[in-house]
Amino acid sequence: MTSANTPTPRQLFTVLLAGSLVLLVVHGLGRFIYTPLLPYLVADNQFNAPDGAAVATWNYLGYLMGAMLAIRWHRIDQIRLMLPLFLAVHVVTTLIVTQTDQLTVISVTRWLNGVANGVVFVQAPALILEWLVLRNRASLSGLVYIGVGVGLLVSSGLVTGTASLLEGAERWWPAALLSIPLAWWGAMQLRQLEVPVRQHDDAGKAVVNTPLLDRASIPLFLSYAGAGLGYILPMTFLPLLAKLELPEGHALLDGTWVIVALFTIPAPWLWNKLGALMGDLPALRLNFLIQLAGVLATVVWPGALGLVLCAALVGSTFLGTVLLTQRIGRALHPHQGPRLSAAMVALYGFTQMVGPWLTKQWLDAGGTLVSAFGIGVAALAFGLVFAFFVPRPEAWHARSS
């Protein structure tokens, strides 16, 4: 076997680190940092809370559109061009929001930042997965998502650490300045990956795009939709639920988000390991069960116990759902991995927008926030059921051979 197909530990570490860093940049310094920033920006009178929620919605819409663009730009040669371009878009848009208090400009800029996030979040892991598959190291692919968990802590630390030094639009400067070197280094490493643009499959036949939806992928898509709707409720409303249920000054008022972050960091390694030991599909079903138990805990045990269990169990599973589903999808459709990945992220992004909207409808109808978490329980149960209808990739391919 040639050295190109036998990566050294240093090469593996460099590639996975580059992937983790670009996800930290676009997700941690692009998307997640807005959550801890929002109370400060409202207190600085840059805009009010409803306007702040609207800005977040524009960012989520951009993320969905970015993932849909990645369905169109799914070939390896396109990824090589678009990945550095959209990392640059992230940097530029983050620099722009350091300079303005104009709500319209902020909204448009955050929308565009979301587009960049969606494209990079699809393309970077997809490119790395293709590189690893060619080197028989696909089981390591999920480790790139460690950057998302670390991004939670880094973004929170940047905001709180500079809270007394900056004001208004200035509060974006730490994210902008840290993004520049990390995005540049990550882009340079990923552009150098040796992944051939495949024109023929292993049998010598021309590679063509098969339908994204078939009897194997439809249950996987439905399962993933349930996961997206189920996880976004605690990830959006858990701190607010803590504020409603706990007395003033309670440690968990800020602690729930920290628990989520701390459990998120080792999660990709854990589910990577479990996927390798028991198979990705059984691991995905176990993942759904644990995540379902976490959201259910808030309904069954309102208060501190339910909040801690939800933060720990959802924090330790939601990235596992992502990496396992992406790998299963690629195994079912090996010649269109990036395209399938983009479609799944687009679906996930759509359900993340539906979740808060459904919650608002429930609350407007007189429901409580804790009972709204029942929507998340139902969504995860839905996802778990369809996970049992996904065929094992080897069995799926054997049936037509």
Q: How confident is the model at residue 168 (pLDDT cuts 50, 70, 90)?
A: very high
CA distances from 273 to 143, 144, 279, 401 (A): 10, 14, 9, 30
Q: Is pLDDT above 90 for 156? A: no
Q: What SS3 string covers the chain?
A: CCHHHCCCHHHHHHHHHHHHHHHHHHHHHHHHCHHHHHHHHHHCCCCCHHHHHHHHHHHHHHHHHHHHHHHHCCCHHHHHHHHHHHHHHHHHHHHHCCCCCCHHHHHHHHHHHHHHHHHHHHHHHHHHHHHHHCCCCHHHHHHHHHHHHHHHHHHHHHHHHCCCCCCHHHHHHHHHHHHHHHHHHHHHHHHCCCCCCCCECCCCCECCCCCCCCCCHHHHHHHHHHHHHHHHHHHHHHHHHHHHHCCCCCCHHHHHHHHHHHHHCCHHHHHHHHHHHHCHHHHHHHHHHHHHHHHHHHHHCCCHHHHHHHHHHHHCCHHHHHHHHHHHHHHHCHHHHHHHHHHHHHHHHHHHHHHHHHHHHHHHCCCCHHHHHHHHHHHHHHHHHHHCCCCCHHHHHHCCC
- Residue 337's pLDDT is what? 66
| Cα separation, 36 vs 278, whole angstroms | 37
Give the CB-side neighbour count of residue 324, counting CA atoms within 13 A: 34
Q: Give the Cα separation of 43 and 20 in Å (integer).
A: 33
Query: Can you tell me the mean pLDDT for 17-22?
Result: 96
How does residue 31 score in pLDDT terms, banded at 50, 70 and 90? confident
> What integer pLDDT is reported at residue 172 of this predicted model?
97
**Cβ-proximal residues to 300 (8 Å cutoff; 6+ apart), any chain:** 306
pLDDT tens per residue, range 343-353: 888 888 888 88
Integer CA distances (angstroms), 114 to 57, 86, 289, 356, in order: 10, 10, 30, 17
Average pLDDT of every residue of the chain: 87
Q: Where in the chain is the domain with CATH 1.20.1250.20?
A: 8-195, 214-396
pLDDT of residue 401: 52
pLDDT at 194: 82
DSSP letter at 391 equals P
Lowest-pLDDT range, 97-101, 274-278, 379-383, 389-393? 389-393
Lowest mean pLDDT: which of 44-53, 220-229, 313-322?
44-53
| pLDDT score of 234 | 85
* pLDDT for 295: 95
Q: What is the pLDDT of residue 4?
A: 54
- Angle separating helix axes 9-23 and 103-133, nearest 10 degrees: 160
Averaged over 314-328, what is the pLDDT? 91
Q: Is the pLDDT of residue 48 over 80?
A: yes
- Reported as a pLDDT band with limits 50, 70 and 90, residue 243 is confident
Task: Give the per-residue pLDDT at 205.
Answer: 53
- pTM value is 0.81
Indicate whether 52 pLDDT > 90: no
**Model confidence at 400: pLDDT above 80:** no
Residue 78: what pLDDT?
Answer: 86
| Of 307, 188, 293, 170, the residue nearest 241 (C-alpha) | 307
pLDDT of residue 3: 46
Residues 6 or more apart from 346 whose CB is under 8 A from it? 64, 67, 68, 70, 71, 118
Q: Is the pLDDT of residue 381 over 60?
A: yes
Convert the pLDDT of each residue in 169-218 to its tens digit: 999 999 999 999 999 999 999 988 887 765 544 444 545 556 777 787 89
Give the residue with greater pLDDT, 398 vs 46: 46
Q: For the ranges 135-149, 326-340, 379-393, which has the lowest average pLDDT?
A: 326-340
Of the candidate CATH numbers 1.20.1250.20, 1.20.1560.10, 3.40.980.10, 3.30.1360.120, the domain formed by 8-195 belongs to 1.20.1250.20
287 token code pair: 């993942």
Q: What is the predicted pLDDT for the residue at 342?
A: 80
Provide the pLDDT for residue 109. Answer: 97
pLDDT of residue 1: 31
Residue 2 has what pLDDT? 36
Q: Which of 29-33, 92-96, 345-349 has the lowest mean pLDDT?
A: 345-349
Q: Is the pLDDT reported for residue 244 higher than 80?
A: yes
pLDDT for 223: 95
CA distance 24 to 146: 8
CATH 1.20.1250.20 fits 214-396, yes or no: yes
Average pLDDT over residues 252-280: 88
Instruction: With a cut of 90, say whether residue 252 has pLDDT above it.
Output: no
pLDDT, greater one: 259 or 93: 93
The lowest-confidence range among 68-72, 85-89, 188-192, 252-256 is 252-256
